[in-house]
Amino acid sequence: MTNASLFTVANKTNKTVESVTKEGPQTTWQTQNLDGSPDVCGKEWQSRYRALHQEIINNKREAKFLVYFCDLPFGACFGYGDRIRGLISLFYLAILTDRAFLIHWKVPKPLERFLTPKNINWTFPIPLLETRKHFWRNIYGQTKKDLDGWLVRNASAVSSLVKKENFSFYFDKPVEIVTSNVYFAASAMQWNKYLMQRARDMEISPLFPDSRRHAKIGCAFDFLFEIPPRLQNALQITRKKLRENSTFVIGIHIRLGDKQFGRNNTRVSESDFPKYFLCAEKVERKLFNLDGRKQARWFLATDSLLVKDYARKHFAEKVITDENKPVHIDLPNEDKKPISDEGMMGILHDHLMLAECDFLVVSPGSFSLTAVGVGMHSSKTHTFGEKCSFDSKKKMRSR
């Protein structure tokens, strides 16, 4: 992805507009603060876990590891959003069982090329100690031979396990490796009396039942990941275009489905996606006090070129979108080539950019909902494009 040619900005306007953000009015277009807020994320467990992790990898404490694993010869760790939800669920499970969390995400590209370790060294090599391997997800096309050596549980069996098991005993090997796309941190884990007791004792507030549903994603993401300079630069270029003249930004994510990636699966139909743009217009009208001087910009992320073309044709004035063809992280391209670095950058760029928009119009699915989580959005700052319901009495103030 070359920075200069990445994005199409339709005609720039020089109107003076001030931005409205999730936290309230802002006077500049500076980066949204996505850092895990101490109010939502808690503030003590992070340093305690950092110390524990350090002690384990420095051999000063019993070797106990929990590894998120995506390096299977047959691929198929699912999409980016699915991976993030599985990974983050395992991260919390590692904290609650006093294990050092490692990420071994090598397919189709090593994650550490695109997101780097922040508070803990999750790239530490998997120790050559007694190991058990868990395959926690539904089987899609894997053969018996592929799964040799893996303890297989489908998604509903994982939920049952996570609801009732005492994992301090269940995980009894020095190295427990898991490949998973199950978002149990937001569901089954909440029912587990042992895990929830530990979460309370350790004051891991994003896991408390009354915490914001997707904040657990934002708090974990912020703890684990640093955005490296190459991706930061790409984000900054887009941000500048979006925030020019202190405008405010609506992020729109339209996920048509895997049809464009050669699979028979439709999420949002080609006749329904224009509703997302109508929804963004409604958000502007009802939530932001726009007048002739004020204008919003839209950041469009989508899996479809058709949607991008439509947006450029109908909303050239306000839409900014990546020019490249979106790729599915886990499905082969038409030419059967593995996904390129640019393709991966495009996925991360779209996801992180969506996260920092002031309001989100999203699709059902994990790509959208993890962006809601990473951006620490509440129910007041996102809606689903087709339903487009929100409380229009709660106007967002602009100055």
Q: Where are the beta strands (DSSP E) in the chain?
A: 7-9, 19-21, 24-26, 65-70, 100-105, 116-117, 131-136, 151-153, 175-180, 225-226, 248-254, 296-302, 319-322, 359-362, 382-384
Q: How far is the CB of 255 from ligand GDP (least distance, A)?
A: 5
304 binds, among ligand GDP, Mg ion, none (CB under 5 to 8 A by kind): none
> Cis omega (within 30 of 0) on the bond before 25?
no
Query: And the tokens for 98?
Result: 């006093």
301 binds, among ligand GDP, Mg ion, none (CB under 5 to 8 A by kind): ligand GDP
Number of H helices, E strands in the chain: 12, 15
Q: What is the DSSP string of 109-178?
A: S-GGGTSEESSS-TTSPPPSS-EEEEEES--SS--TTTTTT-EEE-HHHHHHHHHH--HHHH--SSEEEE
Closer to ligand GDP by CB, 109 or 286: give it: 109
- List residues bridging with 252 in a β-sheet: 300, 361
Q: How far is the CB of 366 from Mg ion (least distance, A)?
A: 6
Q: How far is the CB of 77 from ligand GDP (least distance, A)?
A: 10
Q: How far is the CB of 324 from ligand GDP (least distance, A)?
A: 8
**Between the CA of residue 384 and those of 32, 105, 253, 360, what are the distances in Å?**
22, 30, 9, 8
Q: How far is the CB of 325 from ligand GDP (least distance, A)?
A: 9
Closer to Mg ion by CB, 140 or 169: give it: 140
329 binds, among ligand GDP, Mg ion, none (CB under 5 to 8 A by kind): ligand GDP
Closer to Mg ion by CB, 82 or 222: give it: 82
176 binds, among ligand GDP, Mg ion, none (CB under 5 to 8 A by kind): none
Q: Round to whole Å and give the CA distance between 290 and 250.
A: 13
Exposure string of 74-102, with b = 16+ CB inside 10 Å and e = fewer, is ebbbbbbbbbbbbbbbbbbbbbbbbbbbb
Q: How far is the CB of 223 from Mg ion (least distance, A)?
A: 24
Note the residues at the interface with ligand GDP (CB under 6 A).
Answer: 78-82, 253, 255, 301-303, 326-329, 346-347, 350, 365-367
Note the residues at the interface with Mg ion (CB under 5 A).
Answer: 79, 82
Contact residues for 371 (Cβ-Cβ < 8 A; gap 6+): 81, 251, 253, 301, 351, 352, 354, 355, 360, 362
328 binds, among Mg ion, ligand GDP, none (CB under 5 to 8 A by kind): ligand GDP
Closer to ligand GDP by CB, 178 or 329: give it: 329
222 binds, among Mg ion, ligand GDP, none (CB under 5 to 8 A by kind): none
Residue nearest to Mg ion (CB): 79
Closer to ligand GDP by CB, 189 or 347: give it: 347
Q: How far is the CB of 65 from ligand GDP (least distance, A)?
A: 26
87 binds, among ligand GDP, Mg ion, none (CB under 5 to 8 A by kind): none
Closer to ligand GDP by CB, 20 or 362: give it: 362
206 binds, among Mg ion, ligand GDP, none (CB under 5 to 8 A by kind): none
